[in-house]
């Protein structure tokens, strides 16, 4: 499958396969999807051909983060990815109504993810990002199996509780042979808009500690800020919506390292 994806995505026969990053977190709400959406958008803005698979099948948020929700067009035997903000997207959210719960079990989930990899006309890609569901469940296993070239990028907040659960996902990835691309610490402090003082709402040091423990690099520390949240609610990633915001600057810098 990885070979088929590489073949479908290679710019020319024998050309380089896309770099693949599976973005993971231990638990929900740490900003994994937001970070993934912004890294994808920043990479696309830098001129790269970027695909994003939303493998957070039950808790998908790609349609909201990119402000797009429509059924993918099928041409021939392949689904066309949905394009927004320069990124080619595929998400369960494009197939179901917003209020419908997705109640797929393991085998169906695996099949859906497999189709996202092989039955989508991704075209030539430089980078493919996969937004994993939080934790060490079926979908994460399926993605690691379907995309053996994926490197794991772990997102955590600085808080101990988040770091400890993120560590389990990192361990699962390394046990299945996936290389580690690094750690992004999100919600790393916030600057008070009235007094200018920085406060560590979720503590500090969790990202660095996780990276050290896993023997990988801390790629960046994204601060908590209002422009990022507002941009997400508006369906435009903050790196485009407010590129001068502290979160946007750091996410753009991290994307340039991928």
Q: Which parts are annotated binding residues for ATP?
A: 26-33
Query: Do residues 214 and 167 lie in contact, with contact meaning Cβ atoms separated by under 8 Å?
Result: yes
Distance of alpha carbon 163 from alpha carbon 108, whole angstroms: 30
Can you tell me which of 150, 228, 254, 255 binds ligand ADP, judged by CB under 6 A? 228
Least separation in angstroms between residue 238's CB and ligand ADP is: 8
Strand, helix or coil at 151? Answer: strand
Closer of 4 and 234 to ligand ADP (Cβ): 234
Half-sphere CA count of 73, side-chain side, radius 13 A:
5
Supply the minimum distance, in Å, between the C-beta of residue 49 and ligand ADP. 24
The reply on whether position 93 binds ligand ADP by CB under 6 A is no
Region 95-154 residues binding ligand ADP, contact defined as CB under 6 A: none
CB 186 within 8 A of CB 160: no
Give 124 or 227: the residue with its C-beta nearer to ligand ADP: 227
Q: Which is nearer to ligand ADP, 30 or 50 (CB)?
A: 30
Annotated binding site: 26-33
Single out the residue of 38, 48, 136, 186 in contact with ligand ADP (rule: CB under 6 A): 186
Nearer to ligand ADP, 30 or 128 (CB): 30
Total residues at interface with ligand ADP (CB under 6 A): 18
Measured from the CB atom, the residue of 117 and 224 that comes closer to ligand ADP is: 224
Q: Tokens 């073949």 appear where? A: 7
Return the residue of 146, 222, 255, 258 that touches ligand ADP, per CB under 6 A. 222
Tell me, what DSSP letter sits at residue 258? -
- Which runs of E-coded beta strand occur in 50-102? 50-54, 74-75, 78-79, 82-84, 87-91
For residues 15 to 54, the per-residue mask of contacts with ligand ADP, x marking binding by CB under 6 A and - elsewhere, is ----------x--xxxxxxx--------------------
Q: Is 61 in the site for ligand ADP (CB under 6 A)?
A: yes
224 in contact with ligand ADP (CB under 6 A): yes
The DSSP string of 182-232 is EEEEES--EE-TTT--EE-TT-S-HHHHHHHHHT--EEEEEPP-HHHHHHH
Q: Which is nearer to ligand ADP, 45 or 166 (CB)?
A: 166
The residues, ordered by sequence, that sit 6+ positions from 141 with a Cβ below 8 Å of its Cβ are 172, 176
Burial environment of residue 174 by CB neighbours within 10 A (0 to 12, 13 to 18, 19 or more): middle
169 Cβ neighbours under 8 A, 6+ residues apart:
24, 25, 26, 135, 136, 140, 152, 154
Query: Which residue, judged by CB position, is nearest to ligand ADP in the bound state?
Result: 31
Under the binding rule (CB under 6 A), the answer on residue 229 touching ligand ADP is yes
Return residues touching ligand ADP (CB under 6 A).
Answer: 25, 28-34, 61, 186-187, 222, 224-225, 228-229, 232, 247
């Amino acid at each position: 499958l990885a070979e088929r994806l590489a073949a479908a995505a290679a710019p020319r026969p024998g050309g380089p396969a896309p770099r693949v990053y599976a973005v993971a977190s231990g638990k929900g709400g740490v900003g994994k999807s937001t970070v993934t959406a912004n890294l994808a958008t920043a990479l696309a803005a830098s001129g790269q051909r970027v695909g994003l698979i939303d493998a957070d099948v039950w808790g998908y948020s790609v349609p909201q983060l990119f402000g797009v929700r429509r059924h993918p067009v099928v041409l021939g035997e392949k689904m066309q990815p949905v394009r927004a903000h320069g990124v080619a997207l595929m998400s369960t959210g494009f197939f179901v109504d917003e209020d419908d719960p997705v109640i797929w079990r393991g085998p169906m989930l695996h099949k859906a993810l497999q189709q996202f990899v092989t039955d989508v006309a991704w075209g030539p890609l430089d980078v493919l990002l996969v937004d994993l569901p939080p934790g060490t469940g079926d979908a994460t296993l399926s993605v690691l199996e379907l995309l053996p070239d994926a490197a794991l990028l772990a997102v955590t907040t600085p808080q101990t509780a988040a770091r400890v659960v993120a560590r389990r996902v990192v361990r699962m990835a390394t046990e299945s042979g996936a290389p580690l691309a690094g750690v992004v610490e999100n919600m790393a402090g916030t600057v008070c808009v009235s007094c200018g003082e920085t406060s560590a709402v979720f503590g500090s040091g969790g990202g660095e500690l996780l990276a050290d423990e896993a023997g990988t690099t801390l790629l960046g520390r994204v601060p908590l800020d209002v422009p990022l949240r507002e941009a997400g609610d508006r369906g435009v990633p903050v790196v485009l919506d407010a590129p001068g915001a502290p979160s946007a600057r750091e996410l753009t810098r991290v994307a340039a390292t991928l």
